[in-house]
Amino acid sequence: MSTIPLDYETLRLIWWLLLGVLLIGFAIMGGRDMGVGALLPFAAKTDEERRVLLNLIGPTWEGNQVWLILGGGAIFAAFPPLYAVSFSGFYLAMMVILLALILRPVGFKFRGKIEDPRWRNTWDWGLFIGGFVPALIMGVAVGNVLLGAPFHIDDTMRIFYTGNFFQLLMPFALLAGLVSVGMIVTHGATLIVGRTEGVIAERARTIGIWSGLVTAALFALGGVWLAFMNGYVVTSVIDPNAPINPLSKTVELVQGGWLRNYGTYPWMIAAPVLGLAGMLVAVLALNLRMKWLAYLATSGGIFGIVSTAGLSIFPFFLPSSTVPNSGLTLWDASSSHMTLFIMLVVTVIFLPIIIGYTAWVFRVMRGTVTPQTLGKNPNAY
Q: List pLDDT tens digits, range 314-340.
A: 999 999 999 999 999 999 889 999 999
Measured CA to CA, the distance from residue 159 to residue 153 in angstroms comes to: 5
Q: Is the pLDDT of residue 1 over 70?
A: no
Q: Which of 148-157, 251-260, 278-287, 348-357 has the highest mean pLDDT?
A: 278-287
Mean pLDDT of 366-376: 80
Whether this model's pTM surpasses 0.75: yes
pLDDT for 301 beyond 50:
yes
In this predicted structure, the answer to whether residue 300 has a pLDDT above a threshold of 60 is yes
Per the prediction, the chain carries an average pLDDT of 91
The residues that bridge with 364 in the sheet, in sequence order, are none
Of 98-102, 243-247, 265-269, the one with minimum mean pLDDT is: 243-247
Q: Domain limits of the chain?
A: 19-231+333-376
Which of 208, 216, 209 lies closest to 189, judged by CA? 208
Which among 78, 41, 130 has a CA at the least distance from the CA of 336? 78
Q: Over the stretch 67-84, which tens digit does the pLDDT of each residue have?
A: 888 898 999 999 999 998
pLDDT at 207: 97
Q: Looking at residue 2, what is its pLDDT? A: 53
pLDDT digits (tens, 9 = 90+) for 202-241: 999 999 999 999 999 999 999 999 999 999 999 988 888 8
Over pLDDT 90: what percentage of the chain? 65
Query: Closest Cα partner for 61 from 362, 354, 299, 300?
Result: 362
- According to the model, what pLDDT value does residue 239 have? 84
Which residues are bridge partners to 320 per DSSP? 149
Asked whether residue 115 carries a pLDDT value surpassing 90, the answer given is no
Q: What is the DSSP string of 186-250?
A: HHHHHHHHHH--THHHHHHHHHHHHHHHHHHHHHHHHHHHHHHSEEEEE-SPP-TTSPP-GGGS-
**184-216 residues labelled b (16+ CB within 10 A) or e (exposed):** bbbbbbbbbbbbbeeebbebbbebbbebbbbbb
The answer to whether 303 and 274 have CB atoms below 8 angstroms apart is: yes
Q: How many CB atoms lie within 10 A of CB 256?
A: 14
Query: What's the chain's Rg over C-alpha atoms?
Result: 22
Beta strands in the chain (DSSP E): 151-153, 159-161, 230-234, 251-255, 316-318, 328-329
pLDDT for the residue numbered 114: 87
Mean pLDDT of 13-39: 94
Please give the average per-residue pLDDT across 78-102, as a whole number.
89
Span of 115-119, 230-234, 364-368 with lowest mean pLDDT: 364-368
